[in-house]
Amino acid sequence: MRVINATGVILHTNLGRAPLSQGAIDAMADAARYCDLEVGLSDGKRGSRFAWLRPFMCAVIGAEDVQVVNNNAAALLLACTVLGAPGGVVLSRGQMVEIGDSFRVATMAGAGGVRVVGIGSTNRTHLRDYEQALDGEGPDAQGVPASALLWCHQSNFKQDGYVKEVGLAELAKLAKARSVPLIADLGSGSLGAGLPAIEPTISEYLEQGVDLVLASGDKLLGGPQAGIIAGTAKYVERCRRFPMSRALRPDKTALAALHATFAAHAREGSPAIPLHEMVALDEAGLRARAQALVEALGWDESRVVPLQAAIGGGSLPGDTMPSVGLWVPCAKPSASARALRLGSMPVIGRIEDERLLLDLRTVDPQDDALLRGALASLSDA
């Protein structure tokens, strides 16, 4: 069921993460019927499900080869299962991230049966820790040389103080010298344009010498749920050929939406994608919408309040942006929040300091009239 997201969290995991662009929605609807999923329209022969999208994605990302799977967790499972055998993948304890709903990167990396060789301590990992694991030394390695290095971007938390992490470029050098692949789980995959420049992009990771970058389609890319495996052709090919990849492949509608999303990214300037548009909204425009709503509802002007919105989705920790919203007049915030959720067009707000707040940054301006209707029917407002 569709809902209006007035939480101010743009990539709200519980509300379906990235809202898709109209282009992606149309592409999904088209693909939902018969489509040219596995047929070449020029020769009428059977083709690969991904043949038409692969070169395009490679060109936009700047990668030698790309494989798409169901989500980033699937990308992690596949890459580590294929490249981590027989000796296991090395992962610093400082990067053993829990991504939400108690899913942990180290557990998913090893779910296919490969060993995950933990090295370093929570706050400090040195190059020699990686070297030892590749030599089969250290308590977790147990005499078996590791087969791959895994890097995980600390996408949803930050470490401060007495900390040390080996840089990606240095790790890439070690991987090359030892002829083992370096896999980097970026998580919130971004292509760069239209977002605050504090998150690394897929291409930046590749430029630093990562063999396989893993990224999510529905985080900073603003597309459908998908996992992207981008990088060196020989490693991507091994992932593609591995039987497990059939069990992890995306459906035709996700591929269609991913194509439309990449097409938006390929155009000049900030991508015409709701995520990027919501990030770019200015406060003056948001305030004008809030004032119009308050006026139409007959509320006091003091009900227009400054708020802080966030990108969310386990990306960009601590990175909030000024926003504007409504402070709903009501006696019992939780009861009114429930009434709004149960309306014919559910509205999801947030409660802070006993105030029911609706952030307009995450509300499509075209839904302002629906929001007004929902608020007008609140009995205790």
Ligand X SMILES: *Cc1c(COP(=O)(O)O)cnc(C)c1O
CB nearer to ligand X: pick between 17 and 240: 17
Q: Which of 21, 71, 125, 132 binds ligand X (CB under 6 A)?
A: 71
Residue 73 as a binder of ligand X (CB under 6 A): the answer is yes
Q: Distance from CA of residue 231 to its chain's centroid?
A: 18
Please check whether residue 111 is in contact with residue 171, taking contact to mean a CB–CB distance below 8 angstroms.
no
Q: Where are the beta strands (DSSP E) in 166-222?
A: 182-187, 212-216
What is the smallest separation between the CB atom of 183 and ligand X, expressed in angstroms? Answer: 11
Span from 69-77, 199-207, 268-276, 287-295 in contact with ligand X (CB under 6 A): 69-77
What is the smallest separation between the CB atom of 122 and ligand X, expressed in angstroms? Answer: 17
Q: Which of 4, 66, 97, 184 binds ligand X (CB under 6 A)?
A: 97
In the window 203-242, what residues touch ligand X (CB under 6 A)? 216, 227
Please check whether residue 370 is in contact with residue 4, taking contact to mean a CB–CB distance below 8 angstroms.
yes
N-terminal to C-terminal alpha carbon distance within the chain: 25
Residue 72 as a binder of ligand X (CB under 6 A): the answer is yes
Span from 51-59, 180-188, 266-274, 297-305 in contact with ligand X (CB under 6 A): 180-188
Q: Which of 187, 200, 222, 325 binds ligand X (CB under 6 A)?
A: 187
The residues, any chain, with a CB within 8 Å of residue 101's CB and separated by 6 or more, are none
- Report the candidate in 275, 255, 254, 250 with the shortest Cα–Cα distance to residue 265: 275
CB nearer to ligand X: pick between 105 and 116: 105
Residue 185 as a binder of ligand X (CB under 6 A): the answer is yes
- Report the candidate in 165, 128, 157 with the shortest Cα–Cα distance to residue 317: 157
Residue 28 as a binder of ligand X (CB under 6 A): the answer is no
DSSP code, position 111: T
DSSP code, position 124: B
CB nearer to ligand X: pick between 187 and 250: 187
Could you identify the residue written with the tokens 């020699």?
A: 128
In the window 239-298, what residues touch ligand X (CB under 6 A)? none
In the window 33-52, what residues touch ligand X (CB under 6 A)? none
CB nearer to ligand X: pick between 67 and 188: 188
| Euclidean distance between CA atoms 70 and 51, whole angstroms | 17
Residue 153 as a binder of ligand X (CB under 6 A): the answer is yes
| Euclidean distance between CA atoms 50 and 54, whole angstroms | 6
Q: Which of 99, 239, 290, 316 binds ligand X (CB under 6 A)?
A: 99
Residue 155 as a binder of ligand X (CB under 6 A): the answer is yes
20-32 per-residue burial string, b: 16 or more CB within 10 A, e: under 16: bbebbbebbeebe
Span from 97-105, 249-257, 280-288, 331-339 in contact with ligand X (CB under 6 A): 97-105
Strands 320-327 and 304-312: antiparallel
What is the smallest separation between the CB atom of 80 and ligand X, expressed in angstroms? Answer: 12
Span from 80-88, 182-190, 296-304, 373-381 in contact with ligand X (CB under 6 A): 182-190
What is the smallest separation between the CB atom of 202 and ligand X, expressed in angstroms? Answer: 13
CB nearer to ligand X: pick between 21 and 216: 216
Q: Which of 105, 166, 221, 256 binds ligand X (CB under 6 A)?
A: 105
Q: Which ranges in the chain belong to alpha helices (H)?
A: 22-31, 54-61, 72-83, 105-110, 127-134, 168-177, 202-207, 233-241, 244-247, 252-266, 274-280, 283-297, 333-341, 368-376
H-helix or E-strand spanning residue 227: strand 227-231
Look at the alpha carbons of 306, 311, 312, 315 in this order and tell me if their dihedral is positive or negative: negative
Residue 152 as a binder of ligand X (CB under 6 A): the answer is yes
CB nearer to ligand X: pick between 105 and 117: 105
Strands 182-187 and 148-152: parallel
CB nearer to ligand X: pick between 115 and 153: 153
Q: Which of 5, 21, 132, 188 binds ligand X (CB under 6 A)?
A: 188
Residue 81 as a binder of ligand X (CB under 6 A): the answer is no
Question: Which residues of this protein are in contact with ligand X, per CB under 6 A?
Answer: 71-73, 76, 97, 99, 105, 152-153, 155, 185, 187-188, 216, 227, 314
